[in-house]
């Protein structure tokens, strides 16, 4: 059965973006409402993906197939399984929040700002649903263009450096992946289908080379230590919406790449190199956790916290057990909500004070009680408080790690302490205490729009923390299948 749902999820935002560009920045009110309408429409078309999803099946659903480049046997081949489907919903939902977040604060070229985010959203849905290697690559790289523009045009003082660094770093990774994709095409006798590659027998030496090519590409995106240095720069300089999309969605692309490409296509290399991957992940979790502790800039702190949390995700993947992998996926979605909310919170304060420095704040709770309540809630979630979504993923990964090796689990569990330390220390200095300076005393509490955005996110975080079943249910069969597949040697 050919369903058009995935195409809608991709092209509704992209065509909407073209429409927004066409309206132009002069008509600000129209642009905003149009962008919001497109974002909401983009989210609504993804809802049937969840409601009509058959959680008992592990295969691809909502498959669409059309010839694209017949010369190289490249297909417009889309489909989702339990692993990729939730990210499409997450992405489309976050886009709505991003549009709302940029409602008033973006004064310059608003049409281009909104359009870039909408286009980005469509491209990311493309990445999560592409089942053809070239199609995946095309979406993967094309999504760099809007992000480059977003950081460079609406970013902070050092935005040009950050934008170019972001672009070149990510391009470096993906170019090697391109060569690996071409190699797989030739090796498989002329197929670019990712599902065909899952079944392709490959010798151990090429497997390792392919694994490394994919690793460079995805590790930069995740980002894993030591190729993470672009992220703090990009986050700090990007406008709030840019940081939100980067943290909530763009970072997930790398982790998703591991599950879709590395693990099933080169399982033996994955097993062989798993110790290295686990070591890199633990360095990210522990070392970057310490780095986060000493940050003076809130956005930088959250950026490092993201790297640390993503370390958990890669750790979960490379311990190869059901609870670990599922935990990692839950962690990805949960981090999507929490990091988005954290960046939005910093954005709320930045819009008022034009400073991201912790030292410039203090006692925000006195003037912004509603905001403070939400900010503290998200901070708790970020440090993994039970009953928030942050806890579920971390707990599952730690359980999985202990199953493999107690000390591994022990090392991973230090994140609960470190995460709490850097997040709560920041909260203490920003939210509580006496008012830091006269400007803080003049702050206005959040308005209805901001409350709506943060409140909805808080609801998501809470729901997922209390009742994660709807999330784990859909991914269960697919993860099970993935692990069975990875356990089989391809040699």
Residue number with CB closer to another protein (142 or 204): 142
The nearer residue to another protein, 112 or 472, going by C-beta atoms, is 112
- Which residue from 93, 89, 97 is spatially nearest to 451, judged by alpha carbons? 97
C-beta of 100 vs 210, nearer to another protein: 210
Residue 69 in contact with another protein, rule: CB under 8 A = yes
Considering only residues 30, 47, 66, 160, which one is a binding residue for another protein as defined by CB under 8 A?
Answer: 160
185 near another protein, judged by CB under 8 A: yes
Q: Give, in degrees to the nearest 5, the angle at Cα 436 between 433 and 441.
A: 100
Which listed range, 17-25, 249-257, 277-285, 339-347, lies at the site for another protein (CB under 8 A)?
Answer: 17-25
User: Which DSSP category does 435 fall into?
Assistant: -
Phi-psi region of 361 (alpha: psi -120 to 50; beta: other; left: phi over 0): beta
Query: 184-193, long-range: CB within 8 Å, 24+ apart, which pairs?
Result: 184/133, 184/210, 184/265, 185/72, 185/73, 185/133, 190/73, 191/73, 192/72, 192/73, 192/74, 192/75, 192/132, 192/133, 192/134, 192/135, 193/75, 193/77, 193/131, 193/132, 193/133
Kindly state whether residue 67 participates in binding another protein, applying the rule CB under 8 A: yes
Question: Which DSSP category does 155 fall into?
Answer: S
Select the span of 21-29, 43-51, 252-260, 444-452 touching another protein (CB under 8 A). 21-29
> Quick check: 279 and 242 in contact, CB under 8 A?
no
Smaller CB distance to another protein: residue 145 or 204?
145
Q: Is 186 in the site for another protein (CB under 8 A)?
A: yes
User: Which residues, at least 6 apart from 18, have a Cβ–Cβ distance to it below 8 Å?
Assistant: 115
Nearer to another protein, 178 or 483 (CB): 178
Asked if 357 touches another protein (CB under 8 A), the answer is: no
Q: Is 221 in the site for another protein (CB under 8 A)?
A: no
User: Of the candidates 37, 182, 204, 283, which one interacts with another protein according to CB under 8 A?
Assistant: 182
Give the number of residues in contact with another protein, rule: CB under 8 A. Answer: 39
159 binds another protein (CB under 8 A): yes
Dist CA 371 CA 365 (whole Å): 8
Give the binding site for another protein (CB under 8 A).
21, 24-25, 67-72, 109, 112, 134, 137-139, 141-142, 144-145, 148-149, 152-153, 159-160, 163-164, 167-168, 171-172, 175-176, 178-179, 182-183, 185-186
């Amino acid at each position: 059965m050919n369903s058009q749902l995935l195409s809608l999820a991709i092209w509704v935002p992209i065509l909407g973006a073209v429409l927004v560009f066409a309206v132009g920045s002069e008509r600000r009110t129209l642009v905003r409402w149009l962008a919001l309408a497109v974002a909401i429409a983009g989210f609504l078309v993804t809802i049937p993906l969840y409601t009509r999803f058959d959680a008992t099946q592990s295969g691809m659903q909502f498959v669409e197939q059309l010839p694209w480049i017949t010369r190289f046997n490249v297909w417009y081949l889309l489909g989702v399984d339990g692993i990729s489907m939730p990210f499409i919903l997450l992405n489309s939902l976050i886009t709505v929040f991003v549009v709302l977040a940029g409602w008033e604060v973006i004064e310059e070229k608003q049409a281009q700002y909104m359009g870039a985010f909408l286009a980005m959203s469509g491209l990311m849905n493309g990445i999560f649903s592409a089942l053809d290697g070239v199609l995946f690559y095309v979406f993967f790289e094309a999504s760099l263009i809007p992000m480059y523009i977003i950081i460079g045009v609406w970013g902070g003082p050092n935005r040009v450096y950050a934008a170019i660094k972001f672009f070149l770093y990510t391009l470096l990774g993906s170019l090697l992946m391109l060569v690996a994709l071409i190699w797989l095409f030739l090796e498989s006798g002329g197929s670019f289908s990712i599902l065909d590659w899952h079944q392709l027998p490959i010798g151990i030496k090429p497997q390792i080379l392919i694994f490394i090519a994919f690793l460079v590409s995805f590790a930069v995106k995740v980002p894993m230590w030591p190729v993470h240095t672009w992220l703090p720069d990009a986050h700090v300089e990007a406008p709030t919406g840019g940081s939100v999309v980067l943290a909530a969605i763009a970072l997930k692309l790398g982790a998703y790449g591991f599950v879709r490409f590395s693990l099933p296509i080169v399982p033996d290399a994955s097993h062989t190199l798993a110790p290295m991957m686990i070591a890199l992940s633990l360095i990210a979790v522990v070392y970057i956790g310490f780095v986060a502790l000493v940050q003076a800039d809130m956005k930088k702190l959250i950026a490092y916290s993201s790297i640390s949390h993503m370390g958990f995700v890669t750790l979960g993947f490379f311990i190869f057990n059901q609870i670990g992998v599922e935990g990692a996926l839950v962690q990805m979605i949960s981090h999507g909500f929490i990091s988005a909310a954290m960046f939005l919170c910093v954005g709320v304060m930045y819009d008022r004070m034009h400073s991201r420095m912790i030292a410039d704040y203090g006692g925000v709770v006195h003037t912004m009680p509603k905001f403070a309540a939400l900010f503290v809630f998200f901070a708790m979630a970020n440090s993994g408080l039970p009953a928030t979504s942050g806890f579920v993923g971390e707990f599952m990964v730690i359980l999985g790690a202990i199953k493999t090796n107690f000390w591994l689990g022990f090392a991973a569990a230090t994140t609960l302490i470190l995460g709490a330390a850097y997040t709560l220390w920041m909260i203490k200095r920003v939210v509580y205490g006496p008012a830091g300076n006269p400007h803080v005393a003049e702050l206005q509490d959040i308005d209805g729009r901001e409350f709506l955005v943060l409140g909805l996110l808080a609801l998501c975080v809470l729901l997922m923390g209390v009742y994660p079943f709807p999330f784990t249910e859909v991914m269960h069969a697919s993860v099970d299948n993935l692990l069975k597949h990875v356990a089989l040697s391809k040699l």
